[in-house]
Structure formats: structure tokens, C-alpha cells
């Protein structure tokens, strides 16, 4: 697969943190890329071994609940600094490189009415198993997929919706 470079206007339209990630990727050498492919192969082999023993892997969909839209990304989780945009989403990026089917499923809300979800992950080629498991979990939980209205009513409106300030 061939990729083409973004032109200046396309790059300028991206968030600064995404431009930084692109720059980091563009600075990688052939040796860096080769080492990354070796690491990826090891991860895929480990996943194959995992799915020899287990049908599915279920884990949180994100490492933290939703955060303010004005924040570029989460910069710290449980006292651990997140150095980049990609780093705060490790729970997803580590699974993405495996090339296995996964889905995210809402399963509830925090006390502040923020959505919480899980990922259901299966072995390579087991897309239908993942979809069936997701449907079973959704059915078993019987969750309304909306935050409780009373918790939204009790919260002050976001600044951007307040008129006259």
C-alpha cells in the first residue's frame, strides 16, 4: 500500500498533537520501522497464543471517562504522565496492531453521567463471534443507552451554552 504525504493545507487542518505524531512517524528510520515490525510480529504471536486458550478478551474501551472537549488529550492517568496523544489510548492502540476483530460497547455511566464502555476482542477471523458476544452482553445488561436525565438536570450547563456571558 502506498501513502502520499499530506499537503500543507491538509496538515494545517489537523490538531497540533496529530501533526506532532505525524512528524514523529516521519522521522523514523528504516531500522526503527524494521524493529517495530519485529515487535508487531511478537505481539501478534502472543495474541494467537492467548486466543488458543480463550475465546474472547474483554477490557475497558478507554482508560478514563470522557474528558472536556477543550483538552487536547489526557495528560495523566493515576499519576502516570501521558507523553503523547497516542499514549493515553494504549488500551485501544495495543489491540489495533493485532489486526483482530474488536467492538466497543456502552455498558453504563459514571456518577457524573459520563459513558463507560468495554471492548470485546476475538481471535483473527472471529468477527461473527465478537458480534454475537457483544449482542449477548448488551441483552444481558439491559442497559438504557442514555445517561440518567436527573444527573444531567443537576449539572450546570456547559459554558458554551450559557447566553449572556
What's the average model confidence in pLDDT over 116-136? 94
pLDDT(162) > 80: no
Task: Tell me the per-residue pLDDT of 8-26, one tens digit each, with 9 for 90 and over.
Answer: 888 888 888 888 888 888 8
Handedness of CA 130, 136, 139, 144 (dihedral sign): negative
What's the average model confidence in pLDDT over 116-145? 89
Residues 6+ apart with CB under 8 A from 85: 17, 18, 20, 21, 72, 73
Please provide the DSSP assignment of 80-141 as one string. Answer: EE--STTGGGHHHHHHHTTT--EEEEEEEE-TTS-EEEEEEEE-TT-HHHHHHHHHHHHHHH
More confidently predicted of 165 and 155: 155
Task: Tell me the per-residue pLDDT of 64-77, one tens digit each, with 9 for 90 and over.
Answer: 888 888 888 888 99
pTM: 0.75
Amino acid at each position: 500500500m502506498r501513502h502520499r504525504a499530506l499537503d500543507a493545507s491538509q496538515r494545517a487542518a489537523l490538531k497540533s498533537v496529530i501533526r506532532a505524531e505525524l512528524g514523529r512517524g516521519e522521522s523514523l528510520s528504516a531500522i526503527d520501522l524494521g524493529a517495530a515490525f519485529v515487535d508487531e510480529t511478537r505481539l501478534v504471536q502472543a495474541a494467537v497464543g492467548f486466543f488458543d486458550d480463550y475465546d474472547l478478551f474483554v477490557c475497558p474501551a478507554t482508560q478514563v471517562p470522557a474528558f472536556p472537549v477543550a483538552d487536547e488529550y489526557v495528560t495523566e492517568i493515576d499519576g502516570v504522565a501521558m507523553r503523547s496523544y497516542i499514549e493515553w489510548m494504549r488500551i485501544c492502540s495495543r489491540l489495533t496492531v493485532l489486526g483482530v476483530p474488536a467492538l466497543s460497547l456502552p455498558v453504563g455511566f459514571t456518577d457524573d453521567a459520563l459513558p463507560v464502555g468495554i471492548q470485546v476482542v476475538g481471535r483473527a477471523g472471529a468477527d461473527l463471534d465478537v458480534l454475537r458476544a457483544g449482542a449477548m452482553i448488551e441483552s444481558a445488561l439491559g442497559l438504557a443507552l442514555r445517561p440518567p436525565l436527573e444527573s444531567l438536570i443537576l449539572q450546570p450547563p456547559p459554558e458554551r451554552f450559557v447566553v449572556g456571558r
